[in-house]
Amino acid sequence: MGCGLLAVLAKNGALIADRSGRDFQVVTVSARDKNREREADISAYEWHDDPLQLADPQKVDVVVELIGGAEGTALDLARAALSKGISLVTANKAMIAHHGDELARLAEQSGAVLRFEAAVAGGIPIVKTVKEGLAANRIDRMHGILNGTANFILTLMEDSGASFDDALGQAQALGYAEADPSFDIDGVDTAHKISILTSLAFGAPPSMDLPIEGIRAITDIDIAYARELGFRIKLLGIARITDDGKLDQRVHACLVDANETLSKVGGAANAIEAHGDFVGPCMIEGLGAGAGPTASAVMADLIELARGNRNSTFSMPASKLKPLPLLETGTRRGEFYVRLRVADKAGVMAEIASALRDEGVSVERLIQRTRASDDSVHLIMTTHQTTEARMQAVLSRFHKIDDVLDTPCMLRIEPI
Ligand SMILES: NC(=O)c1ccc[n+]([C@@H]2O[C@H](COP(=O)([O-])OP(=O)(O)OC[C@H]3O[C@@H](n4cnc5c(N)ncnc54)[C@H](OP(=O)(O)O)[C@@H]3O)[C@@H](O)[C@H]2O)c1
């Protein structure tokens, strides 16, 4: 990302100076290894082995932190800069999700400015959209595809019929997934981003206290059945305020109506939709990662600083951010998709039906398919509205039936 930022300055420096009224100068840089081969030539800049030395108010107006990680050097640098009154621009969603409240307070106390446009959905200007463009609205819901790697894998599985492992391998070979892809495919990266959006939209400090599920358990079979039922499977970050004022914040793969615009957002793209009480639904789509889009967002923050925009870190001063009561997961209502592989025997359906009846869950659609290779049968059902708690009770009943051969797969159907 650091080299991407230097590339933006090298190519568009004059235009940026005209637009911002300031000439940006890179004064000093740091990284782990000074001599590593890089895409940008950094030999002209003062070098520090210790990144904390960058936080010198005699030398710099703003520190750009592009190290990453919720803790460690990135956080030390952020604290050092902000406590000395030096503004900070960062792309670090993990740090903002875990320490955004503390850093915002630190910035306010010292008179520094903290900006993190690139931390949520890379090049998409969703932070500025919520903070500024939608500032007049009471927002009651935000949801979106916030991780390009996961979306790339799901799209590949859908388009080519590839298994999860094959799609992940291809994503890694093409540079869309890292060697350790866990934050992307386990939903943690999406959780960082939705917790930041929650803060911007609902005025709560960012919190990682939310249920998180990723896409490792999604099979090509579920993708195919979802398509047959008129859905696509997407990893979504969702944050909404319930009618009784609770925060329903979660990350999971879910079935989205195939006709929805969000369903059609494919490959490594990201898209976010916000619902405001006056603006209605408002959606932005674009590239959520990569050197170009991310550097574009980092530079936009720097331009905003140069123009003198010193508004709060989140949508209001840190002292006004208030934690919201959380919706108890079991009480959340929705429709569900369930796939079971069962033995092709008499009596299995009766056991399944009684589990559903006992827990008060009614089925909306049921598909039964015999598999040619063995004598097992796939049962795919979608339910009417029920609670998450009832659904979990049904699943544990299914699990105990001897003729249910695999762990049942359950996905939520998300109305958007
Ligand atoms: N990649 C994306 O598409 C993307 C998109 C949005 C946001 N972001 C965020 O942007 C940030 C940077 O991501 P990246 O992909 O550019 O990561 P990266 O390629 O791993 O680069 C990290 C940089 O930080 C330096 N660094 C690491 N540990 C350090 C330490 N202890 N002290 C000093 N320097 C250290 C590295 O130095 P060396 O060069 O010497 O190794 C490298 O220059 C992260 O917060 C990430 O979440 C990335």
With H, G, I as helix, E, B as strand and everything else as coil, classify residue 339.
strand
List the binding residues for NADPH: 93
Do the domain assignments include residue 371? yes
Q: Are residues 58 and 143 in the same domain?
A: no
Task: Identify the band that residue 372 occupies on the pLDDT scale cut at 50, 70 and 90.
Answer: low
pLDDT tens-digit map of 263-297: 999 999 999 999 999 999 999 999 998 999 999 99
Contact 235, 149 (CB under 8 A): no
For atom 4 of ligand 1, the residue with the nearest CA is 289
Q: Are residues 161 and 244 in the same domain?
A: yes
Q: Which of 66, 88, 89 to mutate to test the pocket of ligand 1 (most atoms within 8 A of CB)?
A: 66
In CATH, what number is assigned to the domain containing residue 60?
3.40.50.720
Token pair for residue 263? 């369903």
Q: Please identify, by atom number, the ligand 1 atom nearest to the C-alpha of residue 32.
A: 40
pLDDT of residue 375: 81
Instruction: Show the domain range for 39.
Output: 2-119
Is it the case that residue 194 has pLDDT exceeding 70?
A: yes
Token pair for residue 265? 């957002």
Q: Are residues 78 and 194 in the same domain?
A: no
- Last residue in a domain, options 99, 119, 139: 119
In CATH, what number is assigned to the domain containing residue 363?
3.30.70.260
Q: Please identify, by atom number, the ligand 1 atom nearest to the C-alpha of residue 33.
A: 40
Q: Are residues 162 and 93 in the same domain?
A: no
| Length of the chain, in residues | 416
Rounded to whole angstroms, the Cα distance separating 214 from 187 reads 4
pLDDT of residue 374: 78
Residue 50 has φ and ψ, to the nearest 5°, of -100, 115
DSSP class per residue in 94-160: HHHHHHHHHHHHHHHHHT--EE-GGGTTTTS-HHHIIIIITTTS-EEEEEEE--HHHHHHHHHHHHH
Total domains in the fold of the chain = 3
CB atoms within 10 A of CB 309: 13
Distance 44 CA to ligand 1 centre (A): 20
Q: What is the identity of the amino acid at 46?
A: E
Rounded to whole angstroms, the Cα distance separating 229 from 339 reads 12
pLDDT tens-digit map of 153-186: 999 999 999 999 999 999 999 988 888 999 999 9
Mean pLDDT of the chain: 96
Is it the case that residue 391 has pLDDT exceeding 90?
A: yes
- Last residue in a domain, options 119, 154, 189: 119
Instruction: Enumerate the active-site residues.
Output: 193
Rounded to whole angstroms, the Cα distance separating 127 from 32 reads 30
Sign of CA dihedral 193, 269, 140, 296: positive
Average pLDDT over residues 121-150: 97
Task: Identify the band that residue 11 occupies on the pLDDT scale cut at 50, 70 and 90.
Answer: very high
Average pLDDT over residues 81-88: 98
Distance 366 CA to ligand 1 centre (A): 48
Question: Which of these, 175, 329, 309, lies nearest to 242 by C-alpha position?
Answer: 329
Distance 74 CA to ligand 1 centre (A): 9
Q: Residue 212 forms beta bridges with which residues?
A: 251
H-helix or E-strand containing 170?
Answer: helix 164-173
Cα–Cα distances in angstroms (integers) from residue 53 to residues 47, 85, 323, 358, in the given order: 10, 14, 35, 65
